[in-house]
Structure 1
Amino acid sequence: MKYKISLFLLLIFLLNSCQNGDEKRLAENLKEAKKKEVIFKEINNGWVFIEEPINEVSEQNVRNWTEWRDFLKEIGDKPRKTIGAFQKKSTAISKKAMALNNNIPAEFNQPQIKSRISILITKIKMLDLFIHLNKIPAEKVTFLVGDINKELISLERQMDKIVEKAKIPKEEGEADFLKMLDTTRAIPNEMPADKNLKIE
């Protein structure tokens, strides 16, 4: 009889402790859901990209440069419902940004533009990395969105500078002078291969 009573008390104790464990788990799940909701709201509010061209040159590129147009379209579509949607969007933006290196128009295929594209790609990859972490740092994600906007403006202004510089007429002989400055075209400074040949 004592055995049955002790077994009964043990069973009650186990059921009670399981209920306490379930309550703790529910409380933790509720707390985690609230954290995720706060993170979602913060990212949702901070996810504002400048997808409209800021100058005429960038607007022309939207028509002529397919990768640029696709990239601006991708950052213009804002995800709505879940953190997972933001994660998918950041991956898609990252892919479109990588494609910017592929077919840069000839007039913009210059180190200034390439370096700005590289910086833009780096910032977008950082955004993609941070948004895919288990504990998403919402402040860093929103900060990076702002940083990406700054890089976009910098890139578009550099495109504008290149176009404006190309409009300036060159002076007579300037092209020849620039060729002379080009070190890759310089005459090599080597000794003659034939040792018997005297230089006078």
Structure 2
Amino acid sequence: MNNKLTLLFLVLLMQFSCKNDNEQRLADNLRDAKKKELIFTTINKGWNFHDTPINSTSEATLATWTEWRAFMDELSIKPKKTIGAFQKKAKALSAKAMALNNNIPSQFDTPQIRSRIATLITQVQMLDLYINLDKVSDKKVTKLVSEINIGLVSLQRQMDKIVEKSKIPLEVGESELLMMLDTTRAIQSGNPVIPVNPNAPRIE
């Protein structure tokens, strides 16, 4: 009789324990779902890129620089519905940003432009990294979106600066001065080095 009572008690205890575990699991799942929903809402609200040119130079460059146009087009399409969509978008943006190093118009192929492109690439890659972590930091993602926007503005302003500078006419003699300052064209100072003929007779 005692054995039957013990067995019944154990069965009831197990059922009660399983019920508590199920309730705890449901509560954890609900909490995770709410957290993910909050993260999605924050990222969705903060995912706003400056996807249109800020000046005429940048707008004109879209027609001639395919990689720049492709990157700006990718920025303009905002993901919808899930974090997964944002993660795919970040990967696509990273690939398009890397391509900005290719076919840079000769007018803009300068250290100033290249350094801004490098900064932009780094920021986009960081965005791709942070949004694809197991625990997505919505604050870090939205901060990176803001930093990318600043990088975009800086790049476009530098492009405009180069174009505006090219429109300023050179003063008399300035082109000659620039040629003299060009170290690749400079004449070496001092005595010219005369090559020694190894077959020439030597005087001891």
- Alpha-carbon offset, residue 65 of structure 1: 1.0
Q: Where do 1:141-152 residues align within 5 Å?
A: 141-152=141-152
Structure 1: gaps (5+ residues): none
- Alpha-carbon offset, residue 191 of structure 1: 5.8
Q: Structure 1: which amino acid aligns with 2:10?
A: L
Q: Distance in 1 between matches of 2:6 and 2:193?
A: 104
Structure 2: gaps (5+ residues): 199-204
Q: Which residue of 2 aligns with 1:59?
A: 59
Q: Distance in 1 between matches of 2:164 and 2:94?
A: 30
* Larger CA Rg, structure 1 vs 2: 2
Overall identity of the aligned pairs, in %? 57
Q: Structure 2: which amino acid aligns with 1:150?
A: I
User: Residues 82-126 of structure 1, C-alpha deviation per residue, up to 9 Å, x if partnerless?
Assistant: 000000001101111111111101110111110000001111111
Q: Structure 1: which amino acid aligns with 2:26?
A: L
Q: Structure 1: which amino acid aligns with 2:86?
A: F
Q: Distance in 2 between matches of 1:27 and 1:78?
A: 32
Q: Where do 1:84-163 residues align within 5 Å?
A: 84-163=84-163
Q: Distance in 1 between matches of 2:130 and 2:197?
A: 65
TM-score (norm 1): 0.92
Q: Distance in 2 between matches of 1:66 and 1:82?
A: 30
User: Residues 30-52 of structure 1, C-alpha deviation per residue, up to 9 Å, x if partnerless?
Assistant: 00110110010000000000101
- Alpha-carbon offset, residue 193 of structure 1: 5.4
Q: Distance in 2 between matches of 1:14 and 1:188?
A: 93
Q: Which residue of 2 aligns with 1:178?
A: 178
Q: Which residue of 2 aligns with 1:33?
A: 33
- Alpha-carbon offset, residue 9 of structure 1: 1.6
Q: Distance in 2 between matches of 1:12 and 1:155?
A: 70
- 1:15 paired to 2:15: yes
How many residues are aligned here? 197
Q: Distance in 2 between matches of 1:184 and 1:193?
A: 22
- Alpha-carbon offset, residue 167 of structure 1: 0.7
Q: Distance in 1 between matches of 2:26 and 2:57?
A: 56
SS at match of 1:29: helix
